[in-house]
Amino acid sequence: MSAWSQSRVQTLEQVFAHIAAPRMRDVPVQNPALHVQAVGFAPQADPDGGEWLLGILVTPWFMNLVCLPMDLARAGETVPGVGQKASRQIGGERFEFIGAHEDGVGAFACCSLFSPMFEFADHGGAVATACEVLNLLRTPAPAPTAAPAMEAPSRRGFLFGRGGPRAGASA
């Protein structure tokens, strides 16, 4: 990942760490065993023509799949407006994302995976879950397997009801 992309992900993490301190401090939906961490962000091409940094943001109050636009000049075209919804293909699945905006990060799209986060006993468990979700989304779907080729019966075998050639028999 480029230095610019890493900086973008670090900024996302820092902005949400700051949100956790003053804005979310006394909100009872927080799991005190967790902290803010950006997990597994990597470039992702969108079939609709956009390029994203896709990863998961773990916070004490939610775990979201996040799409950060790489082309900031086109973010208004590719990211739904704040509170607006858009369906997006990620791997073999379609997800409904909601447009968001935070000072310092700009426009981005997010899809809630868990909220609140009380199901997680510790931060390691939350991060392991985030990693597994990303692994599943980034693993290509298996190609359909062709049915095994059946040996065609000989004409003589077909006509005489034998279904197929027998060992040592010639057609």
Written as one string, the DSSP assignment of 132-159 is: HHHHHHHSPPPPPPPPPPPPPPPHHHHH
Whole-number Å distance between alpha carbons of 39 and 90: 16
Per the CB < 8 A criterion, the answer to whether 117 and 126 are in contact is yes
Decide if 91 contacts 8 (C-beta within 8 A).
Answer: no
Domains of the chain: 3-138 (3.30.1460.40)
The reported pLDDT for the residue numbered 158 is 47
Residue for token pair 């760490």 = 17
Alpha carbons 67 and 107: distance in angstroms, whole number: 9
Distance CA 52, CA 50 (A): 7
Element (H, E) at 89: strand 85-90
The pLDDT tens digits along the chain (171 residues) read: 789 899 999 999 999 999 998 778 778 889 999 999 999 999 988 766 678 999 999 999 999 999 999 877 767 777 888 999 999 888 888 899 999 999 999 999 999 999 999 999 999 999 999 999 999 999 876 666 665 555 555 555 544 555 555 555 555
pLDDT of residue 84: 95
Measured in whole angstroms, the distance separating CA 3 from the mean position of its chain's CA atoms is 22
Instruction: Please name every residue paired with 68 in a beta bridge, in sequence order, or none if there are none.
Output: 53
